[in-house]
């Protein structure tokens, strides 16, 4: 099975950060060359495209807007992901050297710097693995899945992308090219995250893998 992986909220509120340097809005992909949907890759957020990002403008210091304490192992800032060393260790154990981890300092409101290492986390695996006919609704001819983007029209029940084993192969965390803004995880990654008791990491209900 495949799972949508996402940062969860802390209690009843999200964890927000203030950027202390850099220029987040100028961060872009290193490679924006088109793949199966030429018009789409340029529209996808750089942090969620499944490609390496440039680091020139990437903030190196973030200030949490919550009171001082321990951050979860996975958090979100705008469309980017902040992760702990524990989260990185889990990913690197399964896919060493595949994904992008860029150090970022956590600076609290009292100006103290958190001694624990944190990183911007950018998955660098972008694949096309959806079954065009078994997915509900079926894919468009260009490989785009509109199940999550259907507005103002009757939605199929259930809305369910269906992944193919020959497309997913042995990837453990990846971006699906036909769906914008989501990360997907293997069964093994889910089990490893849960065994390590990582915080701030959520998983959807299982999605079919055929």
β-strand partners of 185: 3, 173
Per-residue pLDDT of 83-103, as tens digits, reads 999 999 999 999 999 999 999
Would you state the pLDDT for residue 25? 95
β-strand partners of 5: 183, 203
Whether 188 is covered by a domain: the verdict is: yes
Would you state the pLDDT for residue 180? 82
Count of structural domains, the chain:
1
Question: Do residues 2 and 168 make contact, with C-beta atoms less than 8 angstroms apart?
Answer: yes
Interval 54-82 mean pLDDT: 92
pLDDT band, residue 34 (cuts 50/70/90): confident
Query: Pick the residue with more confidence: 35 or 20?
Result: 20
Alpha helices by DSSP H, listed for the chain, are 85-94, 165-168, 187-195
Is the pLDDT at 11 greater than 70, yes or no?
no
Whether 156 is covered by a domain: the verdict is: yes
**Closest Cα partner for 17 from 81, 86, 73?**
81
Whether 144 is covered by a domain: the verdict is: yes
pLDDT band, residue 140 (cuts 50/70/90): confident
Whether 210 is covered by a domain: the verdict is: no
Whether 208 is covered by a domain: the verdict is: no
Would you state the pLDDT for residue 151? 57
Whether 176 is covered by a domain: the verdict is: yes
Per-residue pLDDT of 167-202, as tens digits, reads 999 999 999 998 888 999 999 999 999 999 999 999
Whether 209 is covered by a domain: the verdict is: no
Query: Pick the residue with more confidence: 92 or 157?
Result: 92
Q: Is 42 left (phi over 0), alpha (psi -120 to 50) or beta?
A: alpha
User: Would the pTM count as exceeding 0.85?
Assistant: yes
Question: Do residues 207 and 2 make contact, with C-beta atoms less than 8 angstroms apart?
Answer: yes
55 CB-side CA count, 13 A: 12
Domain that holds residue 168: 2-203
Q: What is the mean pLDDT of the chain?
A: 90
Whether 184 is covered by a domain: the verdict is: yes
Would you state the pLDDT for residue 97? 97
Question: Do residues 188 and 195 make contact, with C-beta atoms less than 8 angstroms apart?
Answer: no
pLDDT band, residue 13 (cuts 50/70/90): very low
């Amino acid at each position: 099975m495949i799972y949508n992986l996402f940062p969860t909220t802390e209690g009843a509120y999200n964890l927000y950060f203030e950027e202390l340097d850099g220029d987040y809005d100028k961060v872009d992909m290193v490679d924006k060359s088109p793949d199966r949907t030429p018009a789409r890759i340029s529209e996808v957020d750089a942090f969620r495209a499944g490609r390496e990002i440039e680091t020139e403008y990437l903030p190196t210091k973030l200030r949490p807007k919550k009171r001082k304490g321990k951050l979860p192992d996975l958090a979100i800032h705008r469309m980017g992901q902040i992760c702990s060393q524990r989260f990185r260790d889990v990913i690197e154990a399964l896919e060493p050297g595949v994904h992008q981890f860029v150090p970022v300092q956590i600076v609290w409101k009292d100006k103290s710097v958190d001694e624990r290492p944190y990183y911007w986390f950018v998955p660098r695996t972008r694949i096309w693995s959806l079954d065009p006919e078994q997915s509900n609704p079926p894919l468009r001819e260009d490989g785009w899945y509109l199940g999550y983007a259907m507005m103002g029209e009757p939605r199929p029940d259930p809305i369910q992308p269906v992944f193919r084993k020959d497309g997913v192969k042995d990837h453990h965390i990846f971006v699906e090219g036909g769906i914008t803004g989501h990360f997907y995880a293997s069964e093994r990654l889910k089990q490893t995250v849960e065994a390590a008791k990582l915080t701030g990491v959520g998983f959807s209900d299982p999605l079919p893998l055929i």
